[in-house]
Amino acid sequence: MNASLQVHFLGTGTSQGIPIIGSDHPVCLSTNTKDKRLRSSIAIEVDGQQLVIDCGPDFRYQMLRAEICCIDAILFTHEHADHTAGLDDIRPFYFKQGNIPMYGHQRVLDNLAKRFDYIFSTENKYPGAPSVETFAIKNEDFLIGKTKVTPISVMHHKLQVFGFRIRDFAYLTDVKTVSDEEMLKLQGIDTLVINALRLEPHPSHFNLDEALTFVDKIKPKRAYFTHISHLLGFHDEVEEKLPNHVHLAYDGLIIQL
C-alpha cells in the first residue's frame, strides 16, 4: 500500500490576492481568516519528498507560515507572475541544499531564464545568487525520485498550462478549457483541486458554474476550489451553497489522502 499523500494549501487566491491593495470591497474587508488569500500554490508531501507547485510572490511568507524547511522540487504550471515571481526566495533552500530542481514546460523555463538570468547564469555568478537544476517536461509522465507525475495540459485562454496528477490527486489552476483527451487522465481520482475565480464568466478562468460542471464530469470523491477572487463572495457563504463533496480551499488547509 502506498504511504499517505499530504496536500498543504499555501495560497488560494487569484493574481492580486485577497485583500486587494486599497480595495473597500466587503470581502476584502472581511475579518474571517478564510477570506484572506495569498497567491495560489500548494505543497505536497509524498514518498518522503516535499514538492511545491508554483512559486509566486508570496513564496517566502508561505514557506515561513507552513514551516517548510526543505524542498525537493518546484513544479511550474505556467510562467505568469502570480505563479513564478517568488523564485528569488529559493535562496535559503539553495544555501542549505544546493541546486534546486525545477520542472516546467520548456517555454516556462526559457521565460524564467530571461527574467531571473542571474539565477540561471553559469558565468561570473554573483555569490549570493541561488542556482537551479532544470527539467523540461512534455505532456507525458515523468518521475521525481520515485514519484510518478502525470501532466494534464489545459488552456488558460490562449496559453497552455500544465496541471498535475500524483496518484489519485490532481491539481489544476488557471483553467478555462480542457480537451476530452486530457480529461481522460483524471479518471478515477479521489481528490480534484480546480480553479473557480468568481461568479461571472471570465475569458481565461473557470467561474463557479464552470468549475461545478467540470467536477460533475470528472466525478472525484471530493473537490476543492482554488485561485479564488473576492468576486466569488465570502468563504462561509459560498461554502454553504456547494454540494457536500465540494469545498472552497483556504490558506493553511491541509488534507490527507
Sign (positive or negative) of CA dihedral 246, 36, 177, 105: negative
Position 2 scores a pLDDT of: 65
Position 15 scores a pLDDT of: 98
C-alpha cell at 250: 483556504
165 occurs within a structural domain: yes
Compute mean pLDDT per 10 residues along the chain, 257 residues long, and list them: 87 98 98 98 98 98 98 98 98 97 98 96 88 98 98 98 98 98 98 98 98 98 98 98 98 97
Collapsing DSSP to helix, strand or coil, 102 comes out as: strand
Position 205 scores a pLDDT of: 98
* Residue owning grid cell 507525458: 140
Q: Please state, in angstroms and as integers, the Cα–Cα distance from residue 129 to each residue in 68, 116, 160, following that order.
A: 20, 10, 30
Q: What is the CATH number of the domain that holds 158?
A: 3.60.15.10
70 occurs within a structural domain: yes
Residue 22, domain extent: 6-256
208 occurs within a structural domain: yes
Which residue in 198, 196, 197, 161 sits closest to 182, CA to CA? 161
C-alpha cell at 43: 505543497
Position 123 scores a pLDDT of: 84
- Measured CA to CA, the distance from residue 223 to residue 101 in angstroms comes to 29
* Residue owning grid cell 535559503: 92
Position 49 scores a pLDDT of: 98
DSSP 8-state class, residue 88: G
Q: Please state, in angstroms and as integers, the Cα–Cα distance from residue 64 to each residue in 39, 123, 158, following that order.
A: 15, 31, 34
26 occurs within a structural domain: yes
Number of domains, the chain: 1
Q: Please state, in angstroms and as integers, the Cα–Cα distance from residue 252 to each residue in 12, 109, 257, following that order.
A: 9, 28, 16
32 occurs within a structural domain: yes
* Residue owning grid cell 505563479: 83
1 occurs within a structural domain: no
237 occurs within a structural domain: yes
